[in-house]
Amino acid sequence: MSGTLAWNRYGKSRVRLVKVRRAADPHQIVDLTLDVQLEGAFEAVYADGDNAACLATDTMKNTVYAFARRDPIDHVEAFASRLADHFAAKPAVSRARVSAIEHKWDRLSAGGRPHPHAFVQSGGEHWTAVVTRDGGGASIVSGVANLVVLKTTDSAFSGFPRDEYTTLPEARDRILATSVTATWTYRPGTTDFSGRDRIRTALVETFAAHVSRSVQHTLYAMGEAALGACADAADITLTMPNRHHLLVDLSPFGLDNPNEVFVVTDQPFGLIEATLTRG
């Protein structure tokens, strides 16, 4: 019995790259983790052990570092696009996919002033970018992940259907907490990727100000605000797990609990997701 190769992809994963822009004053730092993945006519590599068309994954890694030396990496999307163009032009390659995670660093302060060359990494929030290049052109999807936000009021969940299995009490004033993952697709031909900062600002400001009737309700408002903040974003997908904060019953101890003491539960959790496109 012989097999047929129906699909294949290979590449180099978790390429770690830090670039310091020393010419800038103060210094600037870019911290990336990149994946390079290729698809194409590599049947002979798999079936026959013929590596004539197999670009070494070590070469992919070295290419990332060489491009980083010449590229200012002002926007990770543009850097990933140049890498994708390079790899897509290699023999036998039909599709090149470059994905990147940008790890966030904030400038430290010393003596009440921002320090010119010292940084701190707090929390797990990071930027993402995925560039896919094939014969039909390029697709660029950017995002932000692990954006943890919480509000202590202006959040409710009531009026939902009840049946014999419903035990959840209605809540008209509750904590709303989530870890936002957002990804948006840039319209074809976009070259200015500064919109991501405006999108993040729209997401967090809308979360803070929105009077929420549910996580879904706030997700929709955040998505609308994000699209309004960046004309080059064709759509946006939001994933918002509900980080539940449950009111503790203190009555066994003869104490009341006027919406002040909560227990945080990790699992199970509600998971709310949606994609908004321009109408």
Mean pLDDT, residues 230-246:
96
Q: Percent of the chain beyond pLDDT 90? A: 91
User: 19: domain CATH number?
Assistant: 3.10.270.10
Q: Does residue 269 surpass a pLDDT of 80?
A: yes
Per-residue pLDDT at 187 exceeds 90: yes
State mean pLDDT over 9-31. Answer: 93
Q: State mean pLDDT over 264-274.
A: 94
Kindly tell me if the per-residue pLDDT of 279 is higher than 80.
Answer: no
Any domain includes 181: yes
User: Which tokens sit at 123?
Assistant: 């929390």
Residues 85 and 148 in one domain: no
Report yes or no: 140 and 190 within 8 Å, Cβ to Cβ.
Answer: yes
Give the pLDDT of residue 55: 97
Q: Which domain holds residue 95?
A: 9-133
Quote the mean pLDDT of the chain: 95
Residue 170 has pLDDT above 90, yes or no: yes
Within a domain: 3: no
Do residue 276 and residue 142 come from a single domain? yes
Question: 276 with 140, same domain?
Answer: yes
pLDDT digits (tens, 9 = 90+) for 69-91: 999 999 999 999 999 999 999 99
| Average pLDDT rounded to a whole number, residues 227-231 | 97
Q: Are residues 33 and 156 in the same domain?
A: no
Span of 95-104, 115-124, 163-172, 263-272 with lowest mean pLDDT: 115-124
41-47 mean pLDDT: 96
- Residues 50-60 pLDDT 10s: 999 999 999 99
Listed residues 106, 133, 160: the one ending a domain? 133
Q: Is residue 4 part of a domain?
A: no
Question: Per-residue confidence at 3, pLDDT binned at 50, 70, 90?
Answer: confident
Note the pLDDT of residue 123. 83
Both 110 and 127 in one domain: the answer is yes
Q: Is the confidence at residue 1, as pLDDT, over 90? A: no
Of 79, 113, 133, the one marking the end of a domain is 133
Say whether both 108 and 145 belong to one domain: no
DSSP per-residue letters across the chain: ---------EEEEEEEEEEEETTSSS-EEEEEEEEEEEEES-HHHHHH---TT---HHHHHHHHHHHHHH---SSHHHHHHHHHHHHHTSTTEEEEEEEEEEE--EEEEETTEEEEEEEE--SS-EEEEEEEEETTEEEEEEEEEEEEEEESSSB-B------TT--PPPBSS--EEEEEEEEEEEPTT----THHHHHHHHHHHHHHH--BSSHHHHHHHHHHHHHHH-TTEEEEEEEEEB--EEEP--GGGT---SS--EEE--SS--EEEEEEE--
What's the whole-number mean pLDDT along residues 178-189?
97
Q: How confident is the model at residue 122 (pLDDT cuts 50, 70, 90)?
A: confident
Please determine, for residue 260, whether its predicted confidence score (pLDDT) is greater than 80.
yes
Same domain? 243 vs 147: yes
Q: Give the residue from 233, 231, 217 showing the smallest Cα distance to 272.
A: 217
Active site residues: 12, 57, 244
CA 189/CA 85 separation, integer angstroms? 14
**pLDDT at site 29:** 94
State the Cα–Cα distance between residues 239 and 271, nearest whole angstrom: 7
Specify the number of domains making up the chain.
2
The pLDDT assigned to 23 comes to: 83
Same domain, 59 and 164: no
